[in-house]
Amino acid sequence: MTAPGFSASHLARAYDAVVVRTQRAQIRGLLGAREGEAVADLGCGPGHLAGELALDVGPRGRVVALDREPGMVEAATVRLTGDRSRTVLADVTALPVADQQLDRAVAVQVLEYVPDVERALSEVRRVLKPGGTAVLVDTDWRSAVWHTDDRDRTDAVLRAWEGHFKHPQLPVLMPGLARSAGFTSVDVVALPMVETQTGADTYSMGMAAAIAHFVGRTEPVLATGWREDVKEQSRRGQYFFSLTRFATIVRR
Ligand SMILES: C[S@@+](CC[C@H](N)C(=O)[O-])C[C@H]1O[C@@H](n2cnc3c(N)ncnc32)[C@H](O)[C@@H]1O
Protein backbone atom coordinates (compact mmCIF):
# COMPACT_ATOMS: atom_id res chain seq x y z
CA MET A 1 0.00 0.00 0.00
CA THR A 2 1.11 3.53 -0.69
CA ALA A 3 1.35 5.57 2.52
CA PRO A 4 -1.46 8.06 3.26
CA GLY A 5 -0.93 11.36 1.43
CA PHE A 6 0.37 9.64 -1.70
CA SER A 7 -2.66 8.92 -3.82
CA ALA A 8 -2.22 8.98 -7.60
CA SER A 9 -3.76 12.47 -7.76
CA HIS A 10 -1.50 13.77 -4.96
CA LEU A 11 1.59 12.45 -6.77
CA ALA A 12 0.34 13.74 -10.11
CA ARG A 13 0.18 17.29 -8.68
CA ALA A 14 3.63 17.01 -7.05
CA TYR A 15 5.16 15.71 -10.28
CA ASP A 16 3.94 18.70 -12.26
CA ALA A 17 6.15 21.00 -10.13
CA VAL A 18 8.94 22.74 -12.03
CA VAL A 19 11.75 21.09 -10.04
CA VAL A 20 10.33 17.63 -10.68
CA ARG A 21 9.75 18.30 -14.39
CA THR A 22 13.36 19.52 -14.65
CA GLN A 23 14.60 16.42 -12.89
CA ARG A 24 12.50 14.17 -15.10
CA ALA A 25 14.20 15.68 -18.14
CA GLN A 26 17.60 14.93 -16.54
CA ILE A 27 16.56 11.32 -15.85
CA ARG A 28 15.35 10.90 -19.44
CA GLY A 29 18.75 12.20 -20.55
CA LEU A 30 20.58 9.70 -18.32
CA LEU A 31 18.41 6.83 -19.54
CA GLY A 32 18.91 7.82 -23.17
CA ALA A 33 16.00 5.85 -24.65
CA ARG A 34 16.08 5.81 -28.46
CA GLU A 35 13.48 5.34 -31.10
CA GLY A 36 12.34 1.74 -31.50
CA GLU A 37 13.62 0.57 -28.13
CA ALA A 38 11.83 -1.46 -25.44
CA VAL A 39 11.81 0.35 -22.10
CA ALA A 40 10.22 -0.29 -18.69
CA ASP A 41 9.20 2.29 -16.08
CA LEU A 42 9.17 0.26 -12.87
CA GLY A 43 6.93 1.70 -10.15
CA CYS A 44 5.57 4.18 -12.69
CA GLY A 45 3.18 5.97 -10.29
CA PRO A 46 0.78 8.24 -12.21
CA GLY A 47 2.88 7.74 -15.34
CA HIS A 48 4.45 11.12 -16.16
CA LEU A 49 7.82 9.60 -17.07
CA ALA A 50 6.29 6.61 -18.85
CA GLY A 51 4.24 8.95 -21.03
CA GLU A 52 7.35 10.92 -21.97
CA LEU A 53 9.36 7.76 -22.62
CA ALA A 54 6.66 6.60 -25.04
CA LEU A 55 7.44 9.72 -27.09
CA ASP A 56 11.19 8.96 -26.90
CA VAL A 57 10.82 5.42 -28.26
CA GLY A 58 8.20 6.43 -30.85
CA PRO A 59 5.61 4.21 -32.55
CA ARG A 60 8.09 1.39 -33.29
CA GLY A 61 9.24 1.23 -29.65
CA ARG A 62 7.37 0.12 -26.56
CA VAL A 63 7.08 1.12 -22.92
CA VAL A 64 6.00 -1.19 -20.12
CA ALA A 65 4.74 0.98 -17.24
CA LEU A 66 4.43 -1.14 -14.12
CA ASP A 67 3.17 -0.45 -10.60
CA ARG A 68 1.82 -2.53 -7.74
CA GLU A 69 -1.01 -0.05 -6.99
CA PRO A 70 -4.16 -0.27 -9.13
CA GLY A 71 -4.83 3.50 -8.78
CA MET A 72 -1.36 4.29 -10.16
CA VAL A 73 -1.76 1.88 -13.07
CA GLU A 74 -5.11 3.48 -13.91
CA ALA A 75 -3.63 6.99 -13.85
CA ALA A 76 -0.59 5.90 -15.91
CA THR A 77 -2.82 4.30 -18.55
CA VAL A 78 -4.25 7.74 -19.34
CA ARG A 79 -0.75 9.19 -19.92
CA LEU A 80 0.66 6.30 -21.96
CA THR A 81 0.36 6.56 -25.73
CA GLY A 82 1.49 4.16 -28.44
CA ASP A 83 -0.11 0.93 -29.64
CA ARG A 84 2.78 -1.19 -28.45
CA SER A 85 2.99 0.27 -24.92
CA ARG A 86 1.08 -1.07 -21.94
CA THR A 87 0.54 -0.62 -18.22
CA VAL A 88 0.79 -3.60 -15.89
CA LEU A 89 -0.19 -4.25 -12.28
CA ALA A 90 2.88 -6.01 -10.90
CA ASP A 91 5.67 -5.92 -8.34
CA VAL A 92 9.26 -5.00 -9.18
CA THR A 93 10.44 -8.13 -7.41
CA ALA A 94 8.52 -10.35 -9.87
CA LEU A 95 8.59 -8.69 -13.28
CA PRO A 96 6.13 -10.13 -15.81
CA VAL A 97 8.74 -9.77 -18.56
CA ALA A 98 10.75 -12.57 -20.20
CA ASP A 99 14.55 -12.67 -19.90
CA GLN A 100 16.64 -10.14 -21.86
CA GLN A 101 13.71 -8.30 -23.45
CA LEU A 102 14.44 -4.67 -22.54
CA ASP A 103 16.93 -2.13 -23.80
CA ARG A 104 16.41 0.10 -20.78
CA ALA A 105 14.63 0.25 -17.44
CA VAL A 106 14.05 3.06 -14.99
CA ALA A 107 12.76 3.15 -11.41
CA VAL A 108 12.32 6.58 -9.82
CA GLN A 109 11.65 6.76 -6.09
CA VAL A 110 10.57 3.12 -5.96
CA LEU A 111 13.31 0.86 -4.60
CA GLU A 112 13.43 2.86 -1.36
CA TYR A 113 9.99 1.34 -0.64
CA VAL A 114 10.89 -2.24 -1.58
CA PRO A 115 11.93 -4.55 1.30
CA ASP A 116 13.89 -6.94 -0.93
CA VAL A 117 15.98 -4.56 -3.07
CA GLU A 118 18.39 -7.38 -3.96
CA ARG A 119 15.53 -9.34 -5.53
CA ALA A 120 14.36 -6.27 -7.46
CA LEU A 121 17.90 -5.68 -8.82
CA SER A 122 18.20 -9.29 -9.85
CA GLU A 123 14.89 -8.95 -11.73
CA VAL A 124 16.04 -5.75 -13.45
CA ARG A 125 19.23 -7.48 -14.56
CA ARG A 126 17.30 -10.53 -15.78
CA VAL A 127 15.00 -8.55 -18.08
CA LEU A 128 17.72 -6.29 -19.57
CA LYS A 129 19.41 -7.28 -22.79
CA PRO A 130 23.21 -7.65 -22.57
CA GLY A 131 24.52 -4.06 -22.70
CA GLY A 132 21.14 -2.73 -21.52
CA THR A 133 20.97 0.19 -19.09
CA ALA A 134 18.92 0.87 -15.97
CA VAL A 135 18.62 4.16 -14.10
CA LEU A 136 17.59 3.73 -10.47
CA VAL A 137 16.76 6.96 -8.66
CA ASP A 138 16.24 7.31 -4.91
CA THR A 139 16.56 9.98 -2.22
CA ASP A 140 19.00 10.11 0.65
CA TRP A 141 16.81 11.94 3.17
CA ARG A 142 19.89 13.11 5.09
CA SER A 143 20.33 15.57 2.21
CA ALA A 144 17.13 17.48 3.10
CA VAL A 145 17.68 21.15 3.94
CA TRP A 146 14.53 22.94 5.12
CA HIS A 147 15.14 26.37 6.62
CA THR A 148 13.12 26.83 9.85
CA ASP A 149 13.46 28.70 13.15
CA ASP A 150 13.64 25.48 15.15
CA ARG A 151 16.28 23.28 13.63
CA ASP A 152 16.07 20.56 16.30
CA ARG A 153 12.33 20.20 15.60
CA THR A 154 13.00 19.99 11.88
CA ASP A 155 15.62 17.30 12.46
CA ALA A 156 13.15 15.37 14.65
CA VAL A 157 10.42 15.58 11.99
CA LEU A 158 12.74 14.44 9.21
CA ARG A 159 13.99 11.56 11.32
CA ALA A 160 10.40 10.49 12.01
CA TRP A 161 9.61 10.81 8.26
CA GLU A 162 12.33 8.26 7.51
CA GLY A 163 9.87 5.69 8.92
CA HIS A 164 7.85 6.19 5.73
CA PHE A 165 10.55 4.30 3.80
CA LYS A 166 12.02 0.84 3.93
CA HIS A 167 15.41 2.37 3.01
CA PRO A 168 15.61 6.13 3.71
CA GLN A 169 19.30 6.25 2.68
CA LEU A 170 19.28 3.75 -0.17
CA PRO A 171 21.53 5.65 -2.63
CA VAL A 172 24.69 5.07 -0.57
CA LEU A 173 24.01 1.32 -0.63
CA MET A 174 23.13 1.09 -4.30
CA PRO A 175 26.59 0.86 -5.89
CA GLY A 176 27.48 -2.13 -3.69
CA LEU A 177 24.10 -3.77 -4.18
CA ALA A 178 24.28 -3.28 -7.95
CA ARG A 179 27.74 -4.84 -8.17
CA SER A 180 26.59 -7.77 -6.03
CA ALA A 181 23.64 -8.21 -8.41
CA GLY A 182 26.14 -8.68 -11.25
CA PHE A 183 26.05 -5.28 -12.96
CA THR A 184 29.50 -4.56 -14.31
CA SER A 185 29.23 -0.82 -14.91
CA VAL A 186 27.90 1.32 -12.05
CA ASP A 187 27.87 5.13 -12.02
CA VAL A 188 26.13 7.61 -9.72
CA VAL A 189 24.86 11.09 -10.56
CA ALA A 190 23.50 13.49 -7.91
CA LEU A 191 20.21 15.19 -8.79
CA PRO A 192 19.62 18.11 -6.41
CA MET A 193 16.43 20.15 -6.35
CA VAL A 194 16.02 23.59 -4.78
CA GLU A 195 12.92 25.71 -4.10
CA THR A 196 13.07 29.19 -2.60
CA GLN A 197 9.40 30.07 -2.97
CA THR A 198 6.19 28.33 -2.08
CA GLY A 199 2.96 28.01 -3.94
CA ALA A 200 0.42 25.42 -4.99
CA ASP A 201 2.70 24.35 -7.84
CA THR A 202 5.82 23.66 -5.74
CA TYR A 203 7.09 20.22 -4.82
CA SER A 204 8.24 20.97 -1.29
CA MET A 205 4.98 22.35 0.06
CA GLY A 206 3.19 19.21 -1.15
CA MET A 207 5.89 17.17 0.57
CA ALA A 208 5.57 19.26 3.76
CA ALA A 209 1.86 18.38 3.87
CA ALA A 210 2.57 14.67 3.32
CA ILE A 211 5.35 14.65 5.93
CA ALA A 212 3.19 16.49 8.50
CA HIS A 213 0.39 14.00 7.83
CA PHE A 214 2.67 10.99 8.30
CA VAL A 215 4.50 12.29 11.38
CA GLY A 216 1.28 13.75 12.83
CA ARG A 217 -0.25 10.29 13.15
CA THR A 218 2.09 9.59 16.09
CA GLU A 219 3.37 13.07 17.05
CA PRO A 220 0.70 15.65 16.19
CA VAL A 221 2.17 18.56 18.19
CA LEU A 222 5.60 18.11 16.62
CA ALA A 223 4.16 17.88 13.12
CA THR A 224 1.83 20.88 13.40
CA GLY A 225 4.49 23.10 14.96
CA TRP A 226 6.99 22.19 12.26
CA ARG A 227 4.57 22.82 9.40
CA GLU A 228 3.70 26.24 10.84
CA ASP A 229 7.44 27.02 11.09
CA VAL A 230 7.87 26.11 7.40
CA LYS A 231 4.91 28.32 6.41
CA GLU A 232 6.26 31.17 8.54
CA GLN A 233 9.50 31.18 6.50
CA SER A 234 7.39 31.58 3.39
CA ARG A 235 5.40 34.47 4.89
CA ARG A 236 8.70 36.19 5.77
CA GLY A 237 10.14 35.64 2.30
CA GLN A 238 12.86 33.39 3.74
CA TYR A 239 11.76 30.05 2.34
CA PHE A 240 14.51 27.59 1.38
CA PHE A 241 14.23 23.88 0.56
CA SER A 242 16.73 21.52 -1.00
CA LEU A 243 16.80 17.75 -1.46
CA THR A 244 19.15 15.48 -3.38
CA ARG A 245 18.17 12.35 -5.24
CA PHE A 246 20.83 10.07 -6.69
CA ALA A 247 20.64 8.23 -9.99
CA THR A 248 22.50 4.92 -9.96
CA ILE A 249 23.17 4.04 -13.59
CA VAL A 250 23.88 0.38 -14.17
CA ARG A 251 24.72 -1.62 -17.28
CA ARG A 252 24.26 -5.30 -17.81
C1 LIG B 1 7.00 7.86 -4.92
S2 LIG B 1 6.13 7.00 -6.17
C3 LIG B 1 7.12 7.29 -7.62
C4 LIG B 1 6.32 7.19 -8.90
C5 LIG B 1 7.10 7.38 -10.20
N6 LIG B 1 8.18 6.46 -10.34
C7 LIG B 1 7.63 8.79 -10.33
O8 LIG B 1 8.72 9.12 -9.88
O9 LIG B 1 6.91 9.59 -10.93
C10 LIG B 1 6.51 5.32 -5.77
C11 LIG B 1 5.75 4.34 -6.63
O12 LIG B 1 6.34 3.05 -6.50
C13 LIG B 1 5.31 2.10 -6.43
N14 LIG B 1 5.87 0.90 -5.77
C15 LIG B 1 6.36 0.80 -4.52
N16 LIG B 1 6.79 -0.45 -4.28
C17 LIG B 1 6.59 -1.16 -5.42
C18 LIG B 1 6.82 -2.51 -5.80
N19 LIG B 1 7.37 -3.38 -4.94
N20 LIG B 1 6.50 -2.89 -7.04
C21 LIG B 1 5.93 -2.02 -7.91
N22 LIG B 1 5.67 -0.72 -7.60
C23 LIG B 1 5.99 -0.30 -6.37
C24 LIG B 1 4.22 2.80 -5.65
O25 LIG B 1 2.97 2.17 -5.82
C26 LIG B 1 4.29 4.20 -6.23
O27 LIG B 1 3.49 4.35 -7.36
What local confidence, expressed as pLDDT, does residue 200 receive?
72
For 65-88, what is each residue's pLDDT tens digit?
999 999 999 999 999 987 889 999
In the predicted structure, residue 8 carries a pLDDT above the cut 80: no
For 183-238, what is each residue's pLDDT tens digit?
989 999 999 999 999 887 799 999 999 999 999 999 999 999 999 999 999 999 99
109 CA to middle of ligand 1, Å?
A: 7
What local confidence, expressed as pLDDT, does residue 3 receive?
45
Return the ligand 1 atom nearest residue 137 CA: 8
Q: How many CA atoms lie within 13 A of 91 on its CB side?
A: 11
C-beta of residue 110 within 8 angstroms of C-beta of residue 81: no
C-beta of residue 239 within 8 angstroms of C-beta of residue 145: no
Q: Distance (Å, rounded) from C-alpha 18 to C-alpha 27?
A: 14
Mean pLDDT of the chain: 94
Find all residues with CB under 8 Å of 151, minimum gap 6, and list them.
Answer: none
Determine what percent of the chain is predicted with pLDDT higher than 90: 88
Fold of 8-142+166-193+244-251: Rossmann fold (3.40.50)
Q: Whose CA is nearest to atom 27 of ligand 1?
A: 45
Indicate if ligand 1 lies below 6 Å from the C-beta of 68: yes
Phi-psi region of 100 (alpha: psi -120 to 50; beta: other; left: phi over 0): left
What local confidence, expressed as pLDDT, does residue 6 receive?
66
What local confidence, expressed as pLDDT, does residue 16 receive?
80
The arithmetic mean of pLDDT across residues 105-134, rounded, is: 98
Q: Whose CA is nearest to atom 25 of ligand 1?
A: 69
Find all residues with CB under 8 Å of 171, minimum gap 6, and list them.
Answer: 138, 139, 140, 188, 245, 246, 248
- Binned at pLDDT 50, 70 and 90, residue 1 comes out as very low
Q: How many CB atoms lie within 10 A of CB 249?
A: 19
In the predicted structure, residue 5 carries a pLDDT above the cut 70: no
In the predicted structure, residue 42 carries a pLDDT above the cut 50: yes
Return the ligand 1 atom nearest residue 41 CA: 6
In the predicted structure, residue 37 carries a pLDDT above the cut 80: yes
What local confidence, expressed as pLDDT, does residue 27 receive?
98
The arithmetic mean of pLDDT across residues 148-171, rounded, is: 97
